[in-house]
């Protein structure tokens, strides 16, 4: 059975973090879904999974349909933003390196006769 730490790690996927950040910023699952090009139920499920995994309520319903970040969500928000920004920088650096350096190729040729001869 996975530990609580394992469950939390599983939820720290980029898409989940993006959904969390955008819901915090917009106060709306619908607007987050539009920005992520996902359905509203899909974003709601991402948020629900994160809440279950963390064992924290991250959003409360405000006036109208607006979601209000809880103190726990506000405490996590900056770290989530920093993590997503670092992931974007890492991806950009990897893409840049891939363009400037020859690709690493590993594998076997179709003729392996030199290995035993």
The ranges assigned to domains in the chain are 4-94
H helix or E strand, kind and range, residue 67 = strand 67-69
pLDDT in tens, 1-43: 667 776 566 445 888 999 999 999 999 999 999 999 999 999 9
- The predicted-structure confidence for 53-73, as pLDDT tens digits, reads as follows 889 999 998 777 789 999 999
> 58 and 72 in contact (C-beta within 8 Å)?
yes
Threshold 0.95, pTM exceeds: no
Q: Is 4-94 in CATH node 3.30.379.10?
A: no
Cα–Cα distances in Å, from 71 out to 26, 38, 60, 68, 74? 16, 26, 10, 10, 5
Mapped onto helix, strand or coil, the DSSP state of residue 28 is: coil
Q: Are 80 and 19 in contact (CB under 8 A)?
A: no
pLDDT value for 49 = 85
């Amino acid at each position: 059975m996975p530990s609580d730490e394992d469950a939390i790690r599983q939820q720290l996927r980029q898409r989940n973090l993006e959904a969390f950040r955008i819901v915090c910023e917009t106060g709306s699952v619908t607007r987050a879904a539009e920005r992520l090009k996902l359905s509203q139920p899909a974003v709601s499920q991402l948020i629900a999974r994160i809440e279950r995994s963390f064992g924290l309520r991250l959003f409360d319903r405000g006036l109208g349909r607006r979601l209000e970040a809880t103190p726990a969500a506000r405490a996590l928000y900056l770290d989530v933003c920093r993590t997503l920004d670092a992931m974007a920088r890492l991806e950009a650096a990897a893409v840049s390196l891939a363009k400037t350096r020859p690709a690493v190729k590993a594998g076997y040729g179709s003729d392996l006769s030199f290995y035993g001869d």
